[in-house]
């Protein structure tokens, strides 16, 4: 898991802020991307490869008092062992309190535009998915009926204890994702029914199998739900391409589904 920024800064009081200030052609990251470099550690990435290695070396020369460049203009071609073909301009400067405050404000502003993901259930797969989503540009909330399961989540993951989680679904913001992974099939079905009653969610997914999907379809019809809405339900989550049921594998595949679903939702919303 990515170390929190505050932790990195407290453990590395002397750091250099490297920021991409310009790009031309094909580059691994866009302008505005940044990383922090201390004598022994780094936080973030500007794209990896040889050009990042050069930038880190330059930053550590600055920290050692051996000069270093404030501005770097790096061609991403054969001369440095990369093949992107573009060009990247960097600014390297001490991470002063003022620079860090500006960086934190920017991160807060950017996170305000991140899509919301609601994970219903913090069992083995729910916990693995929460951990997989934590470093991604998503606002993830885990909802559980069992306090002991929430206590197993890593610090920093938003969590809510709620006795009737299906009652929360109508209040989830439009464009969010709902992923259903509880310990109880009946509860799964109640949450899914509420989610499918909406047509403004980017993704609705449920852990399970083809058999569980068929069972839910019959249950939904019996409960007066719209069977056509099943087209919007991903069940099982994680796809069928990888035949591996370990929680971490399901989590990785589901994370990819979520990012794809959010991209498609944004495209539909802007058209």
Fold held by 116-270: Rossmann fold (3.40.50)
pLDDT tens digits, residue range 200-258? 999 999 998 889 999 999 999 898 878 888 889 999 999 878 788 899 999 999 999 99
Specify the DSSP class assigned to residue 113: T
**Can you read off the two tokens belonging to residue 8?**
């990195």
Report the pLDDT value the prediction gives residue 204, as an integer from 0 to 100.
Answer: 97
- The answer to whether residues 171 and 197 touch, using CB atoms and an 8 Å cutoff, is no
- The answer to whether residues 27 and 41 touch, using CB atoms and an 8 Å cutoff, is no
Q: How far is 89 from 64, CA to CA, in rounded Å? A: 22
pLDDT tens digits, residue range 45-70? 988 888 889 999 999 999 999 888 99
Specify the DSSP class assigned to residue 106: H
- Where are the domains positioned within the chain? 5-110, 116-270
- The answer to whether residues 47 and 33 touch, using CB atoms and an 8 Å cutoff, is yes
Model confidence, pTM: 0.73
């Amino acid at each position: 898991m990515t170390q929190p920024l505050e932790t990195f800064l407290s453990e590395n009081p002397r750091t250099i802020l490297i920021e991409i200030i310009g790009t031309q052609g094909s580059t691994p990251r866009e302008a505005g991307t940044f990383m922090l470099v201390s004598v022994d550690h780094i936080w973030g990435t500007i794209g990896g490869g040889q050009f990042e290695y050069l930038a880190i070396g330059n930053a550590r020369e600055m920290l050692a008092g051996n000069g270093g460049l404030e501005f770097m203009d790096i061609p991403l071609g054969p001369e440095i062992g990369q093949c992107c073909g573009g060009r990247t301009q960097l600014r390297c400067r001490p991470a002063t309190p003022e620079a860090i405050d500006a960086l934190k404000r920017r991160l807060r502003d950017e996170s305000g535009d991140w899509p919301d993901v609601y994970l219903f259930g913090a069992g083995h797969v729910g916990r693995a998915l929460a951990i997989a989503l934590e470093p991604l540009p998503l606002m993830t909330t885990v909802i559980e009926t069992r306090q002991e399961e929430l206590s197993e989540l890593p610090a920093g993951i938003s969590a809510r204890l709620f006795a009737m989680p299906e009652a929360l679904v109508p209040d989830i913001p439009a464009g969010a994702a709902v992923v259903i992974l509880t310990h109880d099939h009946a509860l799964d079905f109640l949450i899914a029914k509420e989610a499918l009653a909406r047509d403004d969610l980017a993704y609705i997914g449920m852990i399970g199998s083809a058999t569980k999907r068929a069972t839910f379809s019959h249950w939904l019809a019996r409960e007066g739900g719209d069977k056509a809405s099943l087209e919007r339900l991903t069940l099982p989550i994680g796809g069928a391409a990888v035949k591996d049921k370990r929680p971490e594998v399901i989590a990785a595949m589901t994370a990819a589904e979520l990012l794809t679903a959010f991209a498609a939702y944004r495209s539909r919303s802007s058209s």
